[in-house]
Structure 1
């Protein structure tokens, strides 16, 4: 097909920002809403990816072309490997000023939600037609050759043509059976070698988060539904970072809360052989705290105080975990010990 200039569909030509302006009220939204028609005043080499927390999380991919930013909404983000294609929905052209836009669009406005710049840089065009766009992207977080191809209506697909961006990255496992503690009546003697957590009770859940979406498995590794809204909110919080989270769905202050206490997989890396101390540090670094989930606290070397607090708060007990222990899926390991709180003893 002959290469054509423009946005790649019938919207090219004329006032290419008419649709954009028609959907936005400059008195209500902080987005740039230029008055004039789009005029070429760039080098057709700018790209930007914006993380957009609208009704659902998505990434907006935009390329400068003939005075506008030709745009696609990519619900799962750009693929990192040629093994997977992602949906890309062609949206209205945006003004060039949008390439630097970050801010909160009012919820009652079109596309309401928070917009941040996820990546930006330059690109080179290999092909640009009404049904296919081939580009080489040069960004700080994503680089390489990509092709967008039209499927039906406004739906396109985006495919990575180069080898995986991170050759050593591993996909999330389909399912993990969680590591389980053995029951003990006493705290470990060498408490300095252990970390201590509260035992929350509740239902064990592993969350698999990728591309802003989440699925769950139970204590036996079987697929289950998570609480309403938990999966999408966790997906939004982690954004483009793939992770497996281990936790328990407990009732705290009369409300179900997902208490997260381990991360067996993060950013394309299995952490099964990484010591518990380091896994907890990485989990803490994710800063996962929200209306329906919390990162469970942990206390190195202070088992007696944790057990007394658990008893005072009516919690089932204490989990003692060796600081150097790996994560052993499906195993009942002495490296993790469940000690009942004194008030729970009979």
Structure 2
């Protein structure tokens, strides 16, 4: 056992209590907490400039990293209780809460991080300005990660390729051996572009390198395709993402460091990752190779016509015209592709602006939507095709500007070139512009007589949410004044991509996890909870699901039944995930006309096992996935982490996709706000979850408590009573719940059915007919004319109260629960 030591020190007048200094944090090398704190104090002069005014996210190993490089780790954004009052901090408004982040602006704060065993320090590519203002990013970063069978030498080769492209753009990158397996490349920017623009260019450069070097480079997030290649991770330029800070330690088996290097060092055949002692000695001899990174800020050379459509700040009275095709040309070789590759972009004609929609059969079929604007074709990729229904928006992914000549291009892009595949013009013509602003475009398109649009159509493209740094756009089909509504009329032809059949799977994938379950809580008991120890979520009226995202999307119900075929649209969950693989816990819901979940509508989807029927119903009754927990990321379980940490991870790896995926807010310590929101949106109730609780797969725990506005119960249907008014229907259903001694009668339900539902339910129960009652305690009056059924089917009902003997009073039918079986029913919840 480590000897407990404690001392108080003062660093630049800031007092800090240090404890357990002899605790070994890296067992493989015997590196102690004292060594870690000493490292951060000594490295501070070169590390702080790269962290200053950036929000810090920490990864903490209070018990050390473990002999094999593992160990319990905590991912912490919020500054937390007990932080010294002299630690600088700023706030960030997330979608559902505000986090207060520490800033690594002084030596004392780095020492405090060491005291908290915060070995890894992660920061974004932007800084705070005045107050909580977010400044534009001042650097761009690429993370080169070797796949299986690839090492540091291959990363160096790819780093040189990235360096060549960046230098063509006026950027001079600095390499950093990451302290893990790969290399990071940083280049300074002048701060005139948004995170969206920087991230977009980084993505396009990564894709261009992949197209030019398909055997060596990959830009896809799917880990399964990375063997033998170097993965270029461009996504860390997103405003919500972070990268290990230069000179930060890593939580690996050895105390390696994310160490800035020179390009000459990268050429050495002895290149390796450096540990804290190597780095301290190296900095003492050579200084900081990244010291000049900020020199690019303010000179305008880092973004001249390259870093997005906003362009550089005009510093001259008559600045030269910006070439908007620079990114387009960096990805194409005119000698190898039939696509037009002009020297500069044109100016456009005098008539109405043109549009073109191209069907692009590349690795995946998609449609390219292009509008002439300021001498180029401003472009979006539509993975799901052109929307035909005003009620259903489609994802639109901004891509690089294309030359006007591309409006007439059809042909085959050769294999190995960027965008390899067949391009066909689906429709083309002119458009009338109604609005073109940052984040919103509205235009009425007039296509060809034989074109895919089927005539004159109006569309709006818009950035989702109010955050200008979010890169996600949607396209919406708008109604014209002379259109009658509906889904666009008989002349509108749906793109092939919108008609794709659900994926087939040869066999059901096994369920890795069973969902954690809650106990029933009472509304007045919520007030007695310590609000600082609980978070409150909405209770969604749907079907519980465990969703696995890797090379495909697999959906399991609460009882581990594979229901993927029932919900083919959930294949699109992969577009909401910013990681290679993960396992999510959530609720499948069908929203009604009032915007609230409608369990009755969902009933039409829950029983479907025929792929053709499922494909038809996805348009009639679309479903959404409400995600509220993450159980595994990239093969590493997160179930042992506290709920608060899992929520932070969830926000990191999953984002909303309009109409399909929703990550709802959690109200930390604010039960009144949760109850108010739940009531206002017509939801079923709320869930209270203890912040420090782990996820307990397959177990019911008082760490999760559900409080419903309306009482509901799951029941086993054991029979029916015939109807005198309808010989084919029924008057009521007889219900039961399991007990230790077998089924116990729980009353009747006779309302909430339509006439057709009564007949359909009766036909189902007649197939399960039996002669004797399967439950005890059925009163003579209820049993007199009853028809009994084998207790195999579970249903859900609403009720006003329970009697002392467990009977449900004033019950109303809600629907079947095919995702559950009788043993799943708990009479207490």
Shorter-chain-normalised TM-score: which range?
0.5 to 0.7
The equivalent residue for 1:175 is 512
Q: In the TM superposition, what whole-angstrom CA distance separates every residue of 1:123-143 from its partner, at most 9, and x where no partner exists?
A: xxxxxxxxxxxxxxxxxxxxx
Residue aligned with 1:252, SS = coil
Residue aligned with 1:288, SS = coil
C-alpha change, 1:202 and 1:241, in structure 2 (3 Å) is same
Residue aligned with 1:281, SS = helix
C-alpha change, 1:190 and 1:284, in structure 2 (3 Å) is same
C-alpha change, 1:60 and 1:328, in structure 2 (3 Å) is farther
Residue aligned with 1:285, SS = helix
The equivalent residue for 1:265 is 632
CA contact (8 A) 2:537 2:688 kept: yes
CA contact (8 A) 2:208 2:331 kept: no
The equivalent residue for 2:642 is 275
The equivalent residue for 1:244 is 583
Residue aligned with 1:231, SS = helix
C-alpha change, 1:308 and 1:62, in structure 2 (3 Å) is closer
CA contact (8 A) 2:576 2:661 kept: no
1:220 Cα deviation from its structure 2 partner: 1.3
The equivalent residue for 1:295 is 663
Matched, 1:204 2:544: yes
Q: Which has the higher helix share?
A: 2
Distance in 1, Cα, partners of 2:520 & 2:510: 28
Distance in 2, Cα, partners of 1:288 & 1:180: 24
The equivalent residue for 1:38 is none
The equivalent residue for 1:224 is 563
1:323 Cα deviation from its structure 2 partner: 0.3
CA contact (8 A) 1:314 1:343 kept: no
The equivalent residue for 2:534 is 194
C-alpha change, 1:256 and 1:63, in structure 2 (3 Å) is closer
Distance in 2, Cα, partners of 1:326 & 1:115: 39
1:225 Cα deviation from its structure 2 partner: 1.9
Matched, 1:313 2:681: yes
Distance in 1, Cα, partners of 2:358 & 2:221: 19
Q: In the TM superposition, what whole-angstrom CA distance separates every residue of 1:282-307 from its partner, at most 9, and x where no partner exists?
A: 11123421121100211011113312
Distance in 1, Cα, partners of 2:359 & 2:566: 26
Q: In the TM superposition, what whole-angstrom CA distance separates every residue of 1:14-64 from its partner, at most 9, and x where no partner exists?
A: xxxxxxxxxxxxxxxxxxxxxxxxxxxxxxx6689xxxxxxxxx9995464
Distance in 1, Cα, partners of 2:227 & 2:218: 19
1:88-237 aligned at under 5 Å gives the runs 97-98=330-331, 107-111=358-362, 112=366, 113=381, 174-185=511-522, 186-187=525-526, 188-211=528-551, 213-225=552-564, 228-237=567-576
Q: TM-score, normalised by structure 2?
A: 0.24
Distance in 1, Cα, partners of 2:679 & 2:550: 37
Distance in 1, Cα, partners of 2:554 & 2:661: 15
1:315 Cα deviation from its structure 2 partner: 1.8
Q: In the TM superposition, what whole-angstrom CA distance separates every residue of 1:169-195 from its partner, at most 9, and x where no partner exists?
A: xxx984211000001113152122100
CA contact (8 A) 1:307 1:341 kept: no
Q: In the TM superposition, what whole-angstrom CA distance separates every residue of 1:65-95 from its partner, at most 9, and x where no partner exists?
A: 9xxx89999996544679xxxxxxxxxxxxx
C-alpha change, 1:315 and 1:208, in structure 2 (3 Å) is same
Distance in 2, Cα, partners of 1:178 & 1:315: 21
C-alpha change, 1:98 and 1:205, in structure 2 (3 Å) is same
CA contact (8 A) 1:63 1:70 kept: no
Moved more, 280-289 or 219-228: 219-228
Distance in 2, Cα, partners of 1:72 & 1:192: 45
Higher relative contact order (CA 8 A, sep 6+): 1
**Which among 318, 323, 329 is matched to residue 697 of structure 2?**
329
1:203 Cα deviation from its structure 2 partner: 0.3
1:232 Cα deviation from its structure 2 partner: 2.4
Distance in 1, Cα, partners of 2:573 & 2:592: 21
Residue aligned with 1:277, SS = helix
- Unpaired segments of 5 or more residues in structure 1? 1-44, 49-57, 83-95, 118-171
Q: TM-score, normalised by structure 1?
A: 0.53
Residue aligned with 2:360, SS = coil
1:230 Cα deviation from its structure 2 partner: 3.0
Q: Which has the higher strand share?
A: 1
CA contact (8 A) 1:310 1:317 kept: yes
Distance in 2, Cα, partners of 1:78 & 1:60: 19
The equivalent residue for 1:286 is 653
Distance in 2, Cα, partners of 1:256 & 1:214: 15
C-alpha change, 1:63 and 1:264, in structure 2 (3 Å) is same
CA contact (8 A) 1:200 1:315 kept: yes
The equivalent residue for 2:605 is none
> Which protein has the larger Cα radius of gyration, Structure 1 or Structure 2?
2
C-alpha change, 1:61 and 1:259, in structure 2 (3 Å) is same
Distance in 2, Cα, partners of 1:75 & 1:326: 28
1:216 Cα deviation from its structure 2 partner: 0.7
- Unpaired segments of 5 or more residues in structure 2? 1-156, 163-206, 229-328, 334-355, 367-380, 382-396, 401-508, 594-621, 713-799, 802-829
